[in-house]
Amino acid sequence: MNGTKRPCVILVPDGNMAAAFRGYLTRENWNLSIGCATFEFNPDLGGDLLVDGGGNDPGVYARAHELLRPYSHTHERALVALDCEWEGSPGKDAIVRHITENLVSNGWSEENVKVIAIEPELDNWLWQDNPHVAKALRYRGAPPLRQLLDQTGLWPAAQAKPSRPKETAEWVLRMARQPRSSAIYEELASCISIKGCTDIAFHELRETLRTWFPPEAIA
Per-residue pLDDT of the chain (219 residues; tens, 9 = 90+): 455 899 999 999 999 999 999 999 988 888 998 899 999 999 887 789 999 988 799 999 999 999 999 999 999 999 999 999 999 999 999 999 999 999 999 999 999 999 999 998 888 888 988 888 999 999 998 999 999 999 999 999 999 899 999 999 999 999 999 988 899 999 988 888 777 777 899 999 999 999 999 987 544
Q: Report the C-alpha gap between 13 and 54 in whole angstroms.
A: 8
110: three-class secondary structure by DSSP: helix
What's the pLDDT at 3?
58
β 49-51/113-118 pair status = unpaired
Neighbours of 59 (CB within 10 A): 18
Cβ neighbours for 15, distance < 8 A, ≥ 6 positions apart: 51, 55, 182
Residue ranges of domains in the chain, CATH in brackets: 6-124+197-217 (3.40.1360), 126-185 (no CATH)
Q: Report the C-alpha gap between 85 and 11 in whole angstroms.
A: 17
Q: Report the C-alpha gap between 192 and 163 in whole angstroms.
A: 19
Q: Report the C-alpha gap between 218 and 214 in whole angstroms.
A: 8
DSSP of 27-64: STTHHHHHTS-------SBTTTEEE-TT-SHHHHHHHH
What's the pLDDT at 126?
86
